[in-house]
Structure 1
């Protein structure tokens, strides 16, 4: 028999909506909501729902959805403000509502459906677990009930997210707007959007160094009392964002700095307890509202409890239905959160490229999707990129197939395009033939790998400088720029490369940091590129951060960095991770990054239905400034 008695811990949107839906499905069910705060106690300002989420609300509870729509503000565009430019991106659909109004409506709707709402009633799971068939734990990201059973749920909490503070403002914003501002302390950015007539949400983010430089660590410590707000930060940020606030103040409501906490649970149920909303999972607000996910959880859990015979079966059904969507949202939210944690390093980018980097930060939207929604903006960044890197091109020039077709400069050496190919042949004649063939195939860089001892001509018994000099000259005559790849410390190979005319030398550093404190570069010598194997761990892990710091430091005196990937790892998932490394190194070092890619693709290859070609992926990555050169043998170079 289906469960008939329900205890809901937490009277936020998830708990209240679940209580109503349970009563609508079974008017005989006993549903009690336990909320520790008063009914009108809420923090924050407005929350946002997508059009898709509103459609889900309508399907689950048309009456409540009508009330939410009547109390909401809707818009379809978003705007990025950077360096005086206001870049508008359309094609979206969002609905925002005051959090206070949302809770009032949900309280009234749950009560009208017959749920028993108990406010100022703090309980633990132990208090109710034996008195109800199902205990729905919906008491937020800091859930005490979940914490009491953290091992059973497999809870992890990552509090390393960027610093943020939540304000309101009477300043007028017609749609969601992202102003980016540089101050004397560092960079700040805001998420601003209207949620009711005359009031907008205004969430500010910054990095740890800026937060401390502005004295906000001290003001945060002084505003820890319940309900207190950080007045120092409010006053300072009114000044920082005065151009965007148009003279209006920032409004406070328990406004204090926090580090975003990413909550994950291996299991969403234990005995007769089940998690939903922020108690089960969180995702950074830059990709959507936690309230949205919480109320979608309530719909799925109510459906499962109304269709399954036992609580255990309902919990399994609920988790199977919701986990894929939650995982997808968290997978999008993680790179978005990390982008917001490091946006200050990208403020040197021109507005066109900065906006495109912002749009592509999560990987959630394909390039074709970007074209459908933002064709004018995509064409704008493509035009800007072309003018910047090929100023001699005119309107009469044939259209470019890819950003990879444009020149790129490494140190003082310019390659005609952004495609490189590496010869792994061991015999000298084969190597010489390869670098000329690569140039004939119109690759910008024709590299030869001398890192294996057997492949290095300087270590052979009878190196032939004249043959090498002739091969280097022929490759250059056909438009290719040769590059020799050697292991760090192989001075004989470097000297030989310089003697036969190589202008680019890649020094491949070992995987251990202790051996590469410095990589000296001779003034007036060839341009040096640092080569390193890309780690298999995520870029924001401790090992990943150490690698990025190391490569960025080594690149300070070099012309670029080459991230190596074994052939077996040149897959879509692995390249996504490698692009994260390339992006971080590029932004910290301000040096070009070469990235290994798969072979056998063509710059002109069309995208298959539902799948992007490698040409399209690399084109978007280069446009966004995530990497500069792809090291891979294409079927046809530009």
Structure 2
């Protein structure tokens, strides 16, 4: 095949390499706007699992990457001036330019043609090819050219962020939270060489404006942020590498992944927030998956649909985790009052992919410390703290009430929690209303909408039924479940009277065996 790849980032380079190794007769050309030693950003990070995937598919490339990488096992959380570490998280950090240069050499050694400093402004400039791969980043020309077919969705998130570097060699992947006069600033930092670390800073737009960062030069920005994070940097400076640009993270999704002989890869296809470090991982795994589909199906017509079918569910799961993470950070203010240990626990479980059990396997000492804190600060409510997020999502509960003849009646309901009671909102006169009024003992299963294997089972009695504030409470629930400020009036029956049912939990069983 004649293959044209637009963009020589990790996704495009690795796909070209794998395809050339798979079939040397392929004529593969990569077109890259920048030069071979130009790059945005500083270092990138991989998990142990990503390295294992690379090793299985391409051991030579993997060996060169790991030989040049820094490694560590800890995630560190700095909050209220205290550093909390969580072990069992094997990571590899490498300079982005080093990774790209490794892939450059590997591609050239296998006969891939790379044309640097080639800026394609219009796809009509390209000659015919059997396969066109759009690996040209989050602002992809290929995606924009075929937007009517890919149907992209780009959501610019609220926090501002900037990529910087420092000569402070951080031990472990470190997240720091600092309150400055202007507001909250968050850092994500990790070592990618013996002497250098990536230092990403994000902040709410209000803090960014109040600090005057919109008016500062790159040098002034580095000086200001080095002052905010003086303790973390131990007095060392920040560097911009002549590229100090504040950005809003673009959350990129595409309804369709391919059109005719055109396919997207990497950030052109999807983005994942840097707080879970999965952008480059997803790019390389995209390349592996697409090359694997060509190995199995051979033709463009068969391989591209197979790629979307196999890969999309995995990417959707990662994007959901990344979105949970960035949303948590956008709303981190509600957690800043916590002590350092429970704050670190909340941070480590923010993506909903890691829970108590997995943390206990990774770092029993950290969980023992967290358990001691919980014993010293017992919850005032019946619902375990690590399950309170169920009452912040579009979580549907299954409510079981008892009929007059003793048989069960089960219905799906919206659910809330006031710190003492589980709350149900329904209409007076309905079957479940009559059941709860006459036979108050009930049971609920409250299932995590993101993980059906995680749920709360609650048994208890209806302690109070009240009409006071029920309409306002229904509007509150509508904001969470419907994304509307008010429950639609047309959904109510004429003369409908709403009620709140306050259920006092007598037995609560949390269940999350795989987290």
With structure 2 as the length reference, what TM-score do the two structures score?
0.79
Distance 1:304 1:423 in 2: 47
- 1:510 counterpart residue number: 472
Greater strand content? 2
Distance 1:182 1:108 in 2: 45
The partner residue of 2:229 within 237, 241, 254 is 241
Cα displacement (A) at 1:161: 4.2
How big is each residue's C-alpha offset from its partner over 1:359-398, in whole Å with a ceiling of 9 and x where there is no partner?
A: 221110233212222333233333323323489xxxxxxx
Q: Any residues of structure 2 matched to 1:487-502 within 5 Å, and which?
A: 487-488=467-468
Match status 1:452 vs 2:432: no
CA 1:425/1:326 → structure 2, altered by over 3 Å: closer, same or farther?
A: closer
- 2:144 counterpart residue number: 147
Aligned length: 447
Q: Any residues of structure 2 matched to 1:233-312 within 5 Å, and which?
A: 233-253=221-241, 254-312=243-301
CA 1:423/1:25 → structure 2, altered by over 3 Å: closer, same or farther?
A: closer
Determine which structure has greater relative contact order: mean sequence separation of CA pairs < 8 Å that are 6+ residues apart, divided by chain length: 2
- 1:108 counterpart residue number: 105
| Cα contact 2:75–2:174 (8 A) shared by 1 | yes
How big is each residue's C-alpha offset from its partner over 1:580-604, in whole Å with a ceiling of 9 and x where there is no partner?
A: xxxxxxxxxxxxxx9x89x9x9446
- 2:114 counterpart residue number: 117
Q: Secondary structure at the match of 2:325?
A: helix
Distance 1:446 1:190 in 2: 37
- 1:314 counterpart residue number: 303
The partner residue of 2:135 within 122, 138, 143 is 138
Q: CA RMSD in A?
A: 3.4
Distance 2:12 2:430 in 1: 68
- 2:178 counterpart residue number: 181
Distance 1:446 1:366 in 2: 23
Distance 1:56 1:267 in 2: 26
In structure 2, list runs of 5 or more residues that go unmatched.
386-398, 405-418, 432-459, 487-498
Match status 1:160 vs 2:149: no
| Cα contact 2:336–2:343 (8 A) shared by 1 | yes
- 1:411 counterpart residue number: none
Match status 1:346 vs 2:335: yes
- 1:204 counterpart residue number: 201
Distance 1:296 1:20 in 2: 13
| Cα contact 2:321–2:352 (8 A) shared by 1 | yes
Which stretch has the larger CA shift, 231-240 or 373-382?
A: 373-382
Q: Any residues of structure 2 matched to 1:388-403 within 5 Å, and which?
A: 388-389=377-378, 403=384
CA 1:451/1:389 → structure 2, altered by over 3 Å: closer, same or farther?
A: farther
CA 1:454/1:66 → structure 2, altered by over 3 Å: closer, same or farther?
A: closer
CA 1:376/1:481 → structure 2, altered by over 3 Å: closer, same or farther?
A: farther
CA 1:381/1:508 → structure 2, altered by over 3 Å: closer, same or farther?
A: farther
The partner residue of 2:57 within 60, 73, 76 is 60
Q: Secondary structure at the match of 2:236?
A: coil
Cα displacement (A) at 1:153: 0.4
Q: Secondary structure at the match of 2:359?
A: helix
- 2:446 counterpart residue number: none
Structure number, greater radius of gyration: 1
How big is each residue's C-alpha offset from its partner over 1:102-148, in whole Å with a ceiling of 9 and x where there is no partner?
A: 11111111000100110111225733665110001100000012111
In structure 1, list runs of 5 or more residues that go unmatched.
224-229, 392-399, 405-421, 428-442, 456-479, 489-506, 514-531, 548-563, 567-593, 613-638
The partner residue of 1:387 within 372, 376, 387 is 376
- 1:533 counterpart residue number: 477
- 2:452 counterpart residue number: none
| Cα contact 2:72–2:171 (8 A) shared by 1 | yes
The partner residue of 2:319 within 311, 316, 330 is 330
Distance 2:272 2:80 in 1: 29
Q: Secondary structure at the match of 2:350?
A: coil
How big is each residue's C-alpha offset from its partner over 1:450-495, in whole Å with a ceiling of 9 and x where there is no partner?
A: 983899xxxxxxxxxxxxxxxxxxxxxxxx999644334xxxxxxx
Which stretch has the larger CA shift, 336-345 or 141-150?
A: 336-345
CA 1:128/1:8 → structure 2, altered by over 3 Å: closer, same or farther?
A: farther
Distance 2:329 2:430 in 1: 47
| Cα contact 1:165–1:258 (8 A) shared by 2 | yes
Distance 2:423 2:105 in 1: 70
Q: Any residues of structure 2 matched to 1:549-568 within 5 Å, and which?
A: none
With structure 1 as the length reference, what TM-score do the two structures score?
0.64
Distance 2:366 2:75 in 1: 13
Cα displacement (A) at 1:317: 1.4
Q: Secondary structure at the match of 2:220?
A: helix
CA 1:297/1:446 → structure 2, altered by over 3 Å: closer, same or farther?
A: closer
- 2:213 counterpart residue number: 216
- 1:36 counterpart residue number: 33
| Cα contact 1:447–1:484 (8 A) shared by 2 | no
Distance 2:319 2:252 in 1: 10
Cα displacement (A) at 1:75: 0.9
Q: Secondary structure at the match of 1:159?
A: strand
Distance 2:121 2:52 in 1: 34
Distance 2:373 2:461 in 1: 25
How big is each residue's C-alpha offset from its partner over 1:298-336, in whole Å with a ceiling of 9 and x where there is no partner?
A: 111112123213202111111122112111100101110
- 1:232 counterpart residue number: 220
Distance 2:425 2:402 in 1: 8
| Cα contact 2:424–2:500 (8 A) shared by 1 | no
How big is each residue's C-alpha offset from its partner over 1:398-450, in whole Å with a ceiling of 9 and x where there is no partner?
A: xx99858xxxxxxxxxxxxxxxxx999999xxxxxxxxxxxxxxx97699999
- 1:371 counterpart residue number: 360
Distance 1:330 1:486 in 2: 41
Distance 2:212 2:512 in 1: 52
